[in-house]
Amino acid sequence: MRWGAVLVLFLFAALIPPLAGLNENLNPDASSRFQIFLATSALVLALWAISYNLMLGYTGMVSFAHAAYYGVGAYTVALIFKRYHLPILVGLAAAPFAAAAVGVVTGLVAQRAVRLYFSLLTLAISQLLFSLAFTWYDFTGGDNGISVTVPDQLSDYTTLYYFTAAVVGVCLLLMFLLVRSPFGAALLSIRENRQRAAAIGINVKVYELAIYTIASLFAGVAGGLFMLYQQQAYPEMLYWTANAQPVVVSLLGGTGTFLGPAVGAFIYVVLDNAVSKQFPYQFDIILGAIVLGVVLAVPGGISDAPTVFLRLRERFHRGEKAEAAPAESAGEAIRMFDVRKALATDAIQAEEVHPGQTLLQIEHLSRRFGGLRAVEDVSLEVKQGDRHAIIGPNGAGKSTLFNLITGQLKPTSGAVKFDGRDITGKPPHVIARTGIGRAFQITTIFPKLTVRQNLQFAMLAHAGYTVRPFGLASRIFSAEAQELAEAVGLGAWAELPAGQLSHGDQRAIEIAISLALGSKLVLLDEPTAGMSAYETDKAMELVRRLATERHLTLLFCEHDMSVVFSTARTVTVMHQGRVLTEGTPEQIRHDPDVQKVYLGELEQEELGA
Ligand code: ADP
Ligand code: MG
């Protein structure tokens, strides 16, 4: 059905010139040249908006500098033709590279910050480039811009339209292949959850810079094509408010689908033309109202309307047999962790282990937050094959210690050695690749991706495939991911968005991601927090079984003492950032100091309550 829609769009694009001619014959007021001109502008806008959506929709970056790269593309074509008297096609070939060059340099600067601050930096970059175009009178023509008379071969409207359509078509195909490739999978995982993306070994900043540059490259093509049909380049193209156009078009058509912005571009051009004729000064108001209405009614954009319609219809039908629904969710809780299934399959074999050797060594590790010593002079050894628990009251420094081990935080002093390598202060994606997997205190998965994709993307990242801008990501490791989902008892939910699963199931996904990464050491930060007693038992049973089957070494911190004593073989007690004592569960259970620490906490809790 989706391919059917693509075919319809393609045919429609191919038939526009003859249709416009037909329209002119029937209705002498309608100029076919003007219709074709509008269609050309819609194609260029579609290309520009889809390139913007590579960032917005696929990576979650909001840039205010994208119009500047579009402008650079247009100026490149105009300057090469007019100042250097080279053929227009030379300019068109150079435009993407000029835009990408400006994109990569300015992108590096913008990347000094993330999220909102990234956006603000792109705004500053945009203003800078605009000012350059505006004031460098001798080179860019200043506020007049540059006008060009396009040579004969391309001055005919229909020829220009087909030429534009061909260039846009090739660009869309390239971008489409890109977003479906393993590289595209890395982008999606960054959009979904930066922290998790880093924890599966993806170098988030490098991928963001890459897509930023690629997006500016295609914006350069769009800008070059704009110059061809408008026959001019002017500084306002680079002005930061110009970015509203691709954003509005993307929102209108839908940021969640590849061709959404193209649909949005077409609607935008038609609207612009229809409304501007009647109300030349009110277009922005009317457009604003329409976009607002679309975003509120169909958050996924107009291209998502059929899905929304289907969902509404389904809801309508389900209303008639509402009785059946609750039973289903009750069954879900009981089938949550199918441990027998977990026993039956063995998707990825861990390497042979040598029990007793030191796998993780922490030496005099400290971390301060201002005056607060969150972790103070902690030394600790985790042996291969061990199940090592860290316990201690709230605020003892357990999560901070984990963050120091996996690179989310850098230590003030001390060292962390893993598997014979010094990993002190290394970034999370590097540490993930050395073989340390992690479940965070607050579950950190890719909520909108399916359970299978969560595992599959981790496998892709682990295998180093995410650098590939070609190939179909969905085909690689699909079976392995399914198998692993089954191993943790989630096989039946493999195609559901991970965020829709119960809390306990999401915990299981997080652990399975570590398995997908082939981690030797798995860190679990309060794996059973927020679980019912039943869920806790099942979850820990799964953890123990997986650890045994796959020869994992576990390092976990946990509040629930029954969990600690049923699972741990070694226990380290932390208190106020320091190691209080260490021993077997039996020793710890009878240690008077430990009892004091916990009693102290108990008293406080009682007072608080
Ligand atoms: P635990 O996980 O054992 O409950 P944490 O490691 O989360 O403890 O916290 C240890 C101490 O460090 C707490 O007092 C906490 O408030 C403080 N802390 C943790 N993270 C930060 C931070 N990013 N900035 C400032 N203080 C922090
Ligand atoms: Mg904690």
pLDDT at 152: 73
Closest CA to 73 of 97, 47, 49: 97
Q: Mutate which of 365, 368, 372, 525 to test ligand 1's pocket (most atoms within 8 Å of Cβ)?
A: 372
Most confident listed range (275-279, 386-390, 545-549): 386-390
Ligand 1 geometric centre to CA of 431 (Å):
21
pLDDT at 246: 93
Residue 425 near ligand 1, beta carbon < 6 Å: no
Ligand 1 geometric centre to CA of 394 (Å):
9
User: Does 345 score more than 60 pLDDT?
Assistant: no
Tens of pLDDT along 140-173?
888 888 998 888 777 788 999 999 999 999 999 9
CATH 3.40.50.300 residue window(s) in the chain: 341-600
Tens of pLDDT along 295-335?
788 877 887 788 778 888 888 887 655 444 333 333 333 33
What does the pLDDT average to over 335-352? 37
Structure-block tokens of residue 268: 């935008």
What does the pLDDT average to over 35-50? 94
* Distances in whole angstroms, Cα of residue 74 to Cα of each of 78, 99, 188, 477: 6, 9, 30, 42
Closest CA to 147 of 82, 86, 98: 82
Ligand 2 geometric centre to CA of 534 (Å):
22
Ligand 1 geometric centre to CA of 575 (Å):
12
Residue 575 near ligand 1, beta carbon < 6 Å: no
pLDDT at 600: 65
DSSP element (H, E) containing 418: strand 413-418
User: Does 349 score more than 50 pLDDT?
Assistant: no
> What pTM does this model have?
0.85
What does the pLDDT average to over 339-362? 55
Give the residue, by CA position, lying nearest to ligand 1 atom 14.
395
Strands (E), 449-560: 521-525, 553-557
Q: How confident is the model at residue 599 (pLDDT cuts 50, 70, 90)?
A: low
Q: Which residue has the tokens 């108990």?
A: 602
* Distances in whole angstroms, Cα of residue 232 to Cα of each of 35, 69, 83, 150, 156: 20, 16, 14, 10, 16
Tens of pLDDT along 171-208?
999 999 999 999 999 999 999 999 999 999 999 999 99
- Which CATH superfamily, name and number, covers 341-600? P-loop containing nucleotide triphosphate hydrolases (3.40.50.300)
User: Does 388 score more than 90 pLDDT?
Assistant: yes
Tens of pLDDT along 73-97?
999 999 999 989 999 999 999 999 9
User: Does 44 score more than 80 pLDDT?
Assistant: yes
Residues 6+ apart with CB under 8 A from 480: 347, 348, 455, 456, 459
What does the pLDDT average to over 127-132? 94
Residue 399 near ligand 1, beta carbon < 6 Å: yes
